[in-house]
A and B are shown apart, each in its own frame.
Chain A
Amino acid sequence: MKKSIKKLISVIVATAAIGTMLTGCGGSNSSTGSSKGDVTLTYAIWDKNQEPGMRKMADAFEAKNPGIKVNVEVTAWDQYWTKLDAGATGGSLPDVFWMHPNQAARYSSNSVLMDLTDKIKSSKLVDLSKFSKDLVKIYENNGKNYGMPKDFDTIGLWYNKTLFDEAGIAYPDETWTWDKLLEVSKKLTNPTKGIYGFGAPLDLQQGFDNFIYQNGGEVISADKTKSTLDTKETKDAIQWYANLSLKDKVSPTNNQFSEVSYSAFFESGKTAMGLFGSWMLSEFGANEYVAKNCDVAVLPQGKQRATIINGLANCVAESTSHKEEAWKFVEFLGSQEANKIQAESGAAIPAYEGTADAWVNVSKKFNSKVYVDMLPYAHINAYSKETEAWQNAEKAALIKGFTGEIPVSDACDQAAKKVNEILATEK
């Protein structure tokens, strides 16, 4: 009898222990430093590839600030936002974390992020004029700064050198235009082998958004109140882009892309060219086939040159109990020194003016320089408070245009209507 009671108690204790473990998983570890000068900050990020680089920056910070420790915590992209959302609701956010443009306005307008304006102004270490104005603006709200720009990414034209060599065509360069792209794509397309010249999927940032800006169009209006998908320049660009698969047949169709992702098409040598962001460098570098056979060039030009730029920022949680220490860390992350460390680790293209060269020097597998070269004419990726919501609606409405079921122009009108409905709820 006694033995069984003992057993029972141990079972109960074990259950309770597991219970506390589970609740421990749910909340984020907002650190609890016991005394002054003994503080541990949590730095939440979502990209495993960048963890070593972030760690190096944290190490440099720790060396300069004895008594402050930094834990770099990686959570995969999908769970990252669920976790952050729950943390913001429950007031248990990590002290410092990455922010993405698609989410920035939602977080900064709900007093979840700490206002950094005055701190940046009085700082000797950081100077916002050293960053691209567009990037700084993403993390502004009512004229206040909520984020310290971390890095940027642009979109480049990737091509398969082997397929170009076989066809005896010169590699893409800065002289290329839309016509040249189409002409070469036609030459490279080989239906019997199942090879297409270009991959033109229904994608915004790595797809037709680049062509929209090159055609002098816009995705949403400058005041973020209206979709501009129903304007002529934008429609023409999307039409031209959709025709690549519908009419010219130089790209796999939308149906094919919904079965196999467009990066898989490129990585298996089934599309000779495609648009990919600089964040793909680490994946492509790790892919034996791509590393051996492929390279990247600047985007071809339409009426004008354009590429899409986007960038992350480091933010501090308003709810953190270590405001000073967290700011010190973010301040350091925004300094030239930290950006150099980031550049040399190859993690991402640093946002700080002039430090990108160091990144180019270590990213030698491909012609990564082009991503930095395109900076002068890069357009910021369209965003508003509910970016995720309208991007989704836009894609859904455009499907029928990309399958050829209805004219692209009609699909654009429908998409504009859906996006406008969502933008109207933002006010």
Chain B
Amino acid sequence: MTLKSKSITKTKISKGTLNEWAWAYIMIAPTFIGLMALNIIPAIQTLILSFEKAGAFGKATWVGLDNYRKLFQDAEVLQAIFNTLKYSVIVVPGTVIISLIVAVLLNKKIKGITIYRTIYFLPMVAAPAAIAMVWRWLYNSEYGLINYLLSVIGIDGPKWITDPNVALISIAIVGIWSAIGYNMVLLLAGLQEIPKDYYEAASIDGASPLRQFFTITIPLVSPSLFFVVVTSVISAFQVFDIIFMMIDKINPALTNTQSLVYLFYKYSFVVNDKGYGSAIVMLLLAIIMVVTVIQVKCQKKWVNY
């Protein structure tokens, strides 16, 4: 029976289909090979490394769960988890709400709209290191532009990047600022797919612009919004470059700002404990996976396809 059905299916595949399949595989091969070599295989190796005590130059000994045991008792790691979550809680809503508002405003017919769109997208084009350096100067408590402007109106500005209570918020502001442009473009694309007649019909029925925004715009842009939320959460969890560039090693706010990726970098490349560094990044992976699964599960409640 099984033999028979097999032979039947075999004969059913024509040469043309086979050819098509072959082409399909050839077409996805570049992406697939790249993904395997650059993402998947290194990820598996990182997982293996997280169970090892890494010596110098690739010599490693198996230590089982030692790295993970140390991980959950390490106050520095717990603080870093807290910092990362705090950063995400500020940055994700900030980015999503502001970029949605900007996208709606830039979806109107205004003179010079492309100029505005370009300006909002510019932070995306600039190198993150350059952005961090410029903001570092703006934030400077003595010579910085921000505190100068505040002093003009009589406010004594905070120590933006050295006060442990303020530094993370300062970093989050830069994070929001640099992410708005990219997310705005995604949302703008979603907004332009909404048919104009809906709004016309709604205005005839006497719906206010605010009502239109909540009952037409939000539901119809929700697929784009969902994508923006998921990617914003992931990139917020992976924050590193701004912290690395703005917070010096002697900065008293360092312990209150270092993220999980920052710790991963520190242990893997400065302290040369690659096993422990890998365990930290595995923890981050687990957190991101859990959050993303929850988001995907919840999308049925608010995303309209």
Residue A179 CB within 8 A of the other chain: no
User: B241 to nearest A CB, angstroms?
Assistant: 13
Residue B269 CB within 8 A of the other chain: yes
Residue B254 CB within 8 A of the other chain: yes
Q: Which residue of B lies closest to A82 (CB)?
A: B269
- Most A Cβ at <10 Å: residue of B159, B271, B273: B271
- Most B Cβ at <10 Å: residue of A202, A259, A395, A402: A259
State the CA gap A400–B252 with chains docked (Å): 7
Taking CB atoms, residues of chain A closer than 8 Å to B252 are 254-255, 258, 399-400, 403, 405
State the CA gap A90–B58 with chains docked (Å): 8
Residue A248 CB within 8 A of the other chain: no
The contact of A89 among B58, B248, B266, by CB within 8 Å, is: B58
- Residue contact B59 to A110, C-beta cutoff 8 Å: yes
State the CA gap A109–B42 with chains docked (Å): 28
Taking CB atoms, residues of chain A closer than 8 Å to B56 are 88, 106-107, 109-110, 112
- Residue contact B159 to A255, C-beta cutoff 8 Å: yes
Taking CB atoms, residues of chain A closer than 8 Å to B136 are 259
Residue B270 CB within 8 A of the other chain: yes
- Residue contact A15 to B30, C-beta cutoff 8 Å: yes
Taking CB atoms, residues of chain A closer than 8 Å to B83 are none
User: A289 to nearest B CB, angstroms?
Assistant: 16
Taking CB atoms, residues of chain A closer than 8 Å to B251 are 258, 399
- Residue contact A12 to B30, C-beta cutoff 8 Å: yes
Residue A257 CB within 8 A of the other chain: yes
- Residue contact B271 to A259, C-beta cutoff 8 Å: no
- Residue contact A388 to B162, C-beta cutoff 8 Å: no
Contact mask for chain B residues 131-146; partner A; CB cutoff 8 A; 1 contact, 0 none: 0000010011111000
Given A255-B159, A399-B250, answer yes or no on A85-B57 (Cβ-Cβ < 8 Å): yes
State the CA gap A216–B178 with chains docked (Å): 51
Residue A94 CB within 8 A of the other chain: no
- Residue contact A258 to B57, C-beta cutoff 8 Å: no
Residue A376 CB within 8 A of the other chain: no
In chain A between 378 and 427, which residues have their CB closer than 8 angstroms to a CB of chain B? Answer: 386, 388-389, 392, 395-396, 399-400, 402-403, 405
Taking CB atoms, residues of chain A closer than 8 Å to B161 are 258-259
Residue B249 CB within 8 A of the other chain: yes
Contact mask for chain A residues 220-258; partner B; CB cutoff 8 A; 1 contact, 0 none: 000000000000000000000000000000000011111
The contact of B162 among A110, A201, A258, A392, by CB within 8 Å, is: A258
State the CA gap A110–B271 with chains docked (Å): 17
- Residue contact B57 to A259, C-beta cutoff 8 Å: no
User: A340 to nearest B CB, angstroms?
Assistant: 36
State the CA gap A88–B302 with chains docked (Å): 52
State the CA gap A260–B141 with chains docked (Å): 10
Residue A66 CB within 8 A of the other chain: no
State the CA gap A225–B302 with chains docked (Å): 61
Classify chain A's interface size: 35 or more
Q: Which residue of A lies closest to B255 (CB)?
A: A396
State the CA gap A386–B270 with chains docked (Å): 10
Residue A194 CB within 8 A of the other chain: yes
State the CA gap A255–B269 with chains docked (Å): 26
Taking CB atoms, residues of chain B closer than 8 Å to A256 are 142
User: A11 to nearest B CB, angstroms?
Assistant: 8
User: B177 to nearest A CB, angstroms?
Assistant: 19
Q: Which residue of B lies closest to A389 (CB)?
A: B271
Taking CB atoms, residues of chain A closer than 8 Å to B250 are 201-203, 254, 257-258, 395, 399, 402
Contact mask for chain B residues 44-77; partner A; CB cutoff 8 A; 1 contact, 0 none: 0000000000011111000000000000000000
- Residue contact A396 to B249, C-beta cutoff 8 Å: yes
- Residue contact A259 to B141, C-beta cutoff 8 Å: yes
Taking CB atoms, residues of chain B closer than 8 Å to A194 are 142
The contact of B270 among A12, A90, A257, A392, by CB within 8 Å, is: A392
- Residue contact A388 to B270, C-beta cutoff 8 Å: yes
Q: Which residue of B lies closest to A268 (CB)?
A: B143
Taking CB atoms, residues of chain A closer than 8 Å to B222 are none
- Residue contact A389 to B270, C-beta cutoff 8 Å: yes
Q: Which residue of B lies closest to A202 (CB)?
A: B250
Residue B272 CB within 8 A of the other chain: yes
Given A258-B251, A258-B252, A389-B271, answer yes or no on A89-B140 (Cβ-Cβ < 8 Å): no
In chain B between 223 and 258, which residues have their CB closer than 8 angstroms to a CB of chain A? Answer: 247-252, 254-255
Taking CB atoms, residues of chain B closer than 8 Å to A202 are 250
Given A388-B270, A389-B272, answer yes or no on A395-B162 (Cβ-Cβ < 8 Å): no
State the CA gap A115–B197 with chains docked (Å): 81
In chain A between 40 and 99, which residues have their CB closer than 8 angstroms to a CB of chain B? Answer: 82, 85, 88-90
Q: In the A-B complex, list the 10 residue pairs whose CB atoms are closest, starting with the nearest.
A: A89-B58, A258-B251, A255-B162, A258-B248, A202-B250, A88-B57, A389-B271, A110-B56, A89-B57, A403-B252
Q: What are 8 A-B residue pairs whose CB atoms fall within 8 Å in the complex?
A: A82-B269, A106-B272, A110-B55, A259-B140, A389-B271, A392-B270, A396-B255, A400-B252
For the A-B complex with A88-B58, A194-B142, A402-B250 known, give 13 more contacts whose Cβ atoms are closer than 8 Å: A19-B33, A106-B272, A107-B56, A110-B57, A255-B162, A259-B141, A260-B140, A261-B248, A389-B270, A389-B272, A392-B249, A392-B266, A396-B249
